[in-house]
Structure 1
Amino acid sequence: MRARTPARLAFERASCPERTSRGFEDSASASPLRCAFQKIGAAISGNSDSAFVIRSVDHTSRGFEDSASASPLHCAFQKLGAVLPGNSISASFIRSVDHCGPWSAVRLMIAALLAMALAPVAPAPAGFTALDWSVVVVYFLCVLALGIWFARRQKNAGDYFLAGRRIPMWAASISILATTLSAVTFIGAPEEAFAGNLTYISANLGVVIAAVVVAVFFIPVFYRHNVTTVYELLEIRMGTNAKLGASAMFMLGRIFASGSRLFAAAIPLSLIVFGNIEPQHMVQSILMIAFVAALYTTFGGIAAVIWTDTAQVIILVGAALVAAFLLVQRIPESPLEIGRILAESQAADGSSKLALFDFRTDLSLPYTVWSAIFGFSLLNMAWYGTDQDLVQRMLTCRSAFRASMSLILSAFIAIGVVAIFLALGLLLYVYYARPDIMGAAAPALDIADTRRVFLVFILDEMPVGLRGLMIAGLFAAAMSSLDSGLNAMASTAVSDWYRPLRRGKSDRHYLRVSRLAVALWAMALASFACICVWWQQASGEGLLQFALGVMVFAYAGLLGVFLTAIFTKRGSSVSVCIALVAGFVTVLFLQNAPALGINLNLSLGWRMLVGTVVSFSICASGRPKRRDSTVQAE
């Protein structure tokens, strides 16, 4: 038997003092990874004998007795086992961190965050059974296994960020769809229809307009210049400072956008684990989800992100269809009669529950036809054309044509998926808010917090097993947007900032730095998501409006800059940086104008329009140093 290092001895003492696992009476024979999984299972389910898939991961830790030869995954779980609740961290364990370097130290920090999140776990709601937990756990383990499998196929940073441009068009399309969907869609879209009507679907007119514009004018330019990040285009066009300014604004905006989605994903987890959505429990739930997303994204790269997105979309849509089918079965009326009831019902603003389009010219209304055409089209144009998170998926295709087609296809599919979740909200309205229709079968529900309506149905009304599938579908929505954000921010940080500063390093070096960047960004997203716990309540906006609204801050400036770069010969690095800041400040001012006593209440679509116009005007005022520096699409 190999000699055990001080780090391993410390881990064994801290994480597995009893060594009571079946077949591992000898403390020297039980794998540390096994013990770590045991303690995770005990913390989640309250059962110290929980052994979900423990045996299946034993082999990953054998043969790594020496910490110097241990795989990154093994090393991370070793540290996780030592800091989980109920364990003391011995001095010898702390000293062992010195041997692992800064990358392992960051992994230890993430493990410590997870430990804090798991410490005060309360019993799960009575309706959530062991079978439900098994479904959720199997989902998480499959996602993690897929990330590890793709990690073995990576040879350099190009494989990590662009998957060698080997991704088929249909997979890229589904991944784009998965990125635009999130836990916000899963929870927020039913909430919109439950409390209002179907006018949110009109916002998707802007999605189609934006997809066509980006496919025709933006994507060919990106492929012609063979960029890894879209901000390299600005370097070609306006100089290095323009690229750095845009990439910095993207990373700030992505923290806002992905952080708000992480906050939304924590709502169901908090309800399941703690039975409420109190702030302290929300924070702990945020840390749990951030850890899992960071773990498989760190090792798998963009290929793992895209293929897990494909599986997650199937789970997400399948879960929604199952819920809709069950609701139709539970409501004691035919589908045609349900439609008639909804047509006669009114939303809070007096419109029909089945209203699809709102032609009013009130600029404070979020989902009118006019805000969709002039506001949401720009918002989605910025999302599809200037956000590395989404563009990165298109850049994994073999050609610009395939990338463009994947974008347009995903835009049309997205409309159908959103329609499914809005229909769910209408069915939930009949089920919970119309006891005159439900009769004696009407369930009791306090609908003061409409964010909970779909989650309450899942936890209280869904059959055993299917309940777990639904929650897995919700987590699929959360992970599909979170993993992509982490990978995109890491690729931008490494390609635009780190690589120019540390030239001449090996591909392996840049790959390790890329994985380190994912871990750091995960902590940043978790921090902002914690802020959203209080910010969203203070804003008074619905979950969907809030999540879309925080995206506008960075997107207004970015879109103005890219429109200048692609459609004009104007602009300079100085005007780019000023335009980015001006767009952000303009949106910030417009959002807070009513609070400042200014009679100017614009919805998020109109804020996007004004911010983009301001940014474009300022950026185009700059004079380029080289008059021939245009990158206009041919």
Structure 2
Amino acid sequence: MGALDWTILSGTLLFIVSYGVWKTRGSKNVNDYVRGGNQAQWWTIGLSVMATQASAITFLSTPGQAFHDGMGFVQFYFGLPLAMIIICMVFVPLYHRMKVYTAYEFLEGRFDLKTRSLTAILFLMQRGLAAGITIFAPSIILSAVLGWDLWTLNIIIGILVIIYTVSGGTKAVSVTQKQQMFIIMTGMFITFFFILGYLPSDITFSKALKIAGASNKLDILDFDMNTKSRYTFWSGITGGLFLALAYFGTDQSQVQRYLSGKSIRESQLGLIFNGILKIPMQFFILLVGVMVFVFYQYNPSPLNFNPSATQAVMESNLANDYKLLQEGQVLLEAEKRIAQNKFSTALDLKEFTAVQEAKQQIIDINKKDSTNRVAAKSMIKQANDSVETNDKDYVFIHFILHNLPRGLIGLLLAVILSAAMSSTASELNALGTITALDLYKRNKKEVRSEKYYVKVSKIFTLIWGIIAILIACIADLFDNLIQLVNIIGSIFYGNVLGIFLLAFFFKFVKGNAVFFAAIITQIIICVIYYNLIHIYPSGEEKLGYLWLNFIGAAMVILIALFFEAFDRVLKRPLINSQ
């Protein structure tokens, strides 16, 4: 990185932090701090909702996901537009009518205090873990760039987010996220056009898509009914729908975004805005990853994109064997370029047989490439089993650092760090709010002033910021980061969503039945995850993790209905209510 990159990177981050503190200084009461004084308009809400979900993991991991596995990941979002409609019709009017500060405040009125507290605790567990990961993601980037240790970077990034989140609360998060989304999308579009410009002169965008298609990178829709597959059309519109309903409808980090709206209509328009644009945005980010794949069909790439993994094996007694593997990879890449040129020529001549022959040659070369990369991972593990061999999260950053011009590198790093800060700020804001209002204030007997609870919210936000930094310091890659966040969410979200669905649509079910059903469901979901997903390598699970959202929601509803029916038969409560 040159001086220009550092200037752009540091200037962007300092502007975001300073702007957030300046624009939102002096929150006088809880409504100002937690709901931003209910002044947000629909475009602010929409951008804030998008920025909260689009963390650094989105822009760090998603291109790498597409590079390795193609566009199929976009199916994960297929249930989102329908979820936005349901939330606009059911959740938003109810939250606004009850004038709640948190989603879980509603549950006490509908059920009881212990159900509200349990649901809040489930949220704190999963969102606290996710907050740590969203700090850890950009630390990987700067670690690769600067050579600094991850602990130092986790602390620096965490402190930057804490400064303006603690200072300005919800409004600080919302006003900074508009600038962050502008920076993010500008950087991604510029990168996309640079990639196209780096391709050989005869490779148009249309031909690049055909090249990617020849390697099965454009397989978007999978209608296979196999529940073992992670991303299919069916898992997207079922498990993805339930995950989106839980995330946008019950996760305080999102609920707090649209509770700040000036009216119900503004909140609804903001969510519809997100529902319309989210899939195209994710499609575009995946497409950037596919274009990176096409770029590396004509340019050399490392056997493993994680520089520390390569360093580890080159400093071991397996260095010579690894060099031989690298030499073989160089020859294979030459064959790959020849095959791609042959395929391109066949496309120009429109000779079907020649196209199919060239495509088969590309597929065969890709298999050899995959074999070499698996062998490289094996050698790295033998050299140092503590080094991460999974390199999906390093693909995009490797391309940025080694191919983009000075200045643009700083902008892209600012993009990823801005995304990290926007998502982490929302999470810390929500974690502090839930802890202060759902647990501390609700269980505190004495009456205190508004300013007191603003101060308490800031203190808890600071505490959760420190906890997130600590989690980031012990985090590790797991397949890849974007999947790790979604897996954590899937373990908890289905259960939480089921509790809210019981509250909305099953008016006869009481708090005791829901409380015990939620505890039992969470235990069962954890057991299912461990035995059918966790213990299997990526892609070999007995159950795709998205299905946990549907299973969790259905299970808590069925168990609660059973408990309620059993309770009515016995004509006595399951346990004495509070």
Instruction: State the TM-score, normalizing by the size of structure 1.
Output: 0.72
Question: 1:585 aligned to 2:523?
Answer: yes
1:331 maps to what in 2? 199
- Please report how far the alpha carbon of residue 623 of structure 1 lies from its aligned counterpart in structure 2 after TM superposition: 4.3
Residue by residue, what CA displacement relative to the aligned partner does 1:264-286 show, whole Å, maximum 9, x if unpaired? 222112112217xxxxx223322
Question: 1:356 aligned to 2:297?
Answer: no
Residue by residue, what CA displacement relative to the aligned partner does 1:208-267 show, whole Å, maximum 9, x if unpaired? 121111111111111111111011110110011111111111111111222222222221
Instruction: State the TM-score, normalizing by the size of structure 2.
Output: 0.79
In structure 2, give the amino acid aligned to 1:471.
L
Residue by residue, what CA displacement relative to the aligned partner does 1:491-516 show, whole Å, maximum 9, x if unpaired? 11111122231542222211111111
Question: 1:459 aligned to 2:404?
Answer: no
Matches within 5 A, 1:158-557: 158-274=31-147, 281-332=149-200, 333-345=203-215, 352-435=216-299, 449-500=391-442, 501=444, 503-533=446-476, 536-537=477-478, 541-557=479-495
CA distance in 1, matches of 2:535, 2:411: 46
- Please report how far the alpha carbon of residue 330 of structure 1 lies from its aligned counterpart in structure 2 after TM superposition: 0.3
Residue by residue, what CA displacement relative to the aligned partner does 1:531-586 show, whole Å, maximum 9, x if unpaired? 322xx34xxx2332222101112212101100100011133333333233333322
In structure 2, give the amino acid aligned to 1:604.
Y
In structure 2, give the amino acid aligned to 1:424.
V
Question: Aligned with 2:474: secondary structure?
Answer: helix
- Please report how far the alpha carbon of residue 335 of structure 1 lies from its aligned counterpart in structure 2 after TM superposition: 1.1
Residues 395 and 586 (structure 1), Cα distance of their counterparts in 2 relative to 1, 3 Å cut: same
In structure 1, give the amino acid aligned to 2:128.
I
CA distance in 2, matches of 1:551, 1:166: 30
- Please report how far the alpha carbon of residue 600 of structure 1 lies from its aligned counterpart in structure 2 after TM superposition: 7.1
Residues 261 and 448 (structure 1), Cα distance of their counterparts in 2 relative to 1, 3 Å cut: closer
Q: Which stretch shifts more, 557-566 or 240-249?
A: 240-249
Question: Aligned with 1:593: secondary structure?
Answer: helix
Q: Is the 8 A contact 1:489 1:521 kept in 2?
A: yes
CA distance in 1, matches of 2:337, 2:205: 14
Residue by residue, what CA displacement relative to the aligned partner does 1:275-332 show, whole Å, maximum 9, x if unpaired? 7xxxxx2233222211111111010111110011111111111111111010000011
Question: Aligned with 1:391: secondary structure?
Answer: helix
Residues 546 and 600 (structure 1), Cα distance of their counterparts in 2 relative to 1, 3 Å cut: closer
Residues 273 and 485 (structure 1), Cα distance of their counterparts in 2 relative to 1, 3 Å cut: same
- Please report how far the alpha carbon of residue 152 of structure 1 lies from its aligned counterpart in structure 2 after TM superposition: 2.4
Residue by residue, what CA displacement relative to the aligned partner does 1:313-365 show, whole Å, maximum 9, x if unpaired? 111111111110100000111112112211222xxxxxx21111011122121
Residue by residue, what CA displacement relative to the aligned partner does 1:44-81 show, whole Å, maximum 9, x if unpaired? xxxxxxxxxxxxxxxxxxxxxxxxxxxxxxxxxxxxxx
Question: Aligned with 1:173: secondary structure?
Answer: helix
Matches within 5 A, 1:607-622: 607-622=548-563
CA distance in 2, matches of 1:143, 1:505: 33
In structure 1, give the amino acid aligned to 2:211.
I
Task: Select the residue among 514, 527, 532 that pairs with 1:576.
Answer: 514
Q: Is the 8 A contact 2:491 2:529 kept in 1?
A: no
Q: Which runs of no fewer than 5 residues in structure 1 stay unpaired?
A: 1-127, 276-280, 346-351, 627-634
In structure 2, give the amino acid aligned to 1:472.
A
CA RMSD of aligned residues (A): 2.4
Question: Aligned with 1:504: secondary structure?
Answer: coil
In structure 1, give the amino acid aligned to 2:3.
A
Q: Is the 8 A contact 2:131 2:468 kept in 1?
A: yes
Q: Is the 8 A contact 1:560 1:579 kept in 2?
A: no
CA distance in 1, matches of 2:488, 2:134: 10
CA distance in 1, matches of 2:400, 2:447: 53
Count of residue correspondences: 479
Residues 422 and 176 (structure 1), Cα distance of their counterparts in 2 relative to 1, 3 Å cut: same
CA distance in 1, matches of 2:445, 2:452: 10
In structure 1, give the amino acid aligned to 2:556.
S
Question: Aligned with 2:546: secondary structure?
Answer: helix
- Which protein is richer in helix relative to its size? 2
In structure 1, give the amino acid aligned to 2:239.
G
Question: 1:603 aligned to 2:467?
Answer: no
Q: Which stretch shifts more, 516-525 or 265-274?
A: 265-274
Question: Aligned with 1:604: secondary structure?
Answer: coil
Residues 129 and 512 (structure 1), Cα distance of their counterparts in 2 relative to 1, 3 Å cut: same
Identity of aligned residues (%): 28
Residue by residue, what CA displacement relative to the aligned partner does 1:466-524 show, whole Å, maximum 9, x if unpaired? 11111000001111110000001111111112223154222221111111111100122
Residue by residue, what CA displacement relative to the aligned partner does 1:382-413 show, whole Å, maximum 9, x if unpaired? 00111011011111112222212211211221
- Comparing both chains, which one has the higher relative contact order based on Cα–Cα distances under 8 Å and sequence gaps of 6 or more? 2
Q: Is the 8 A contact 1:570 1:620 kept in 2?
A: no
CA distance in 1, matches of 2:390, 2:513: 47
Matches within 5 A, 1:557-572: 557-572=495-510
Residue by residue, what CA displacement relative to the aligned partner does 1:586-630 show, whole Å, maximum 9, x if unpaired? 232122114679x9711111122212211222233454999xxxx
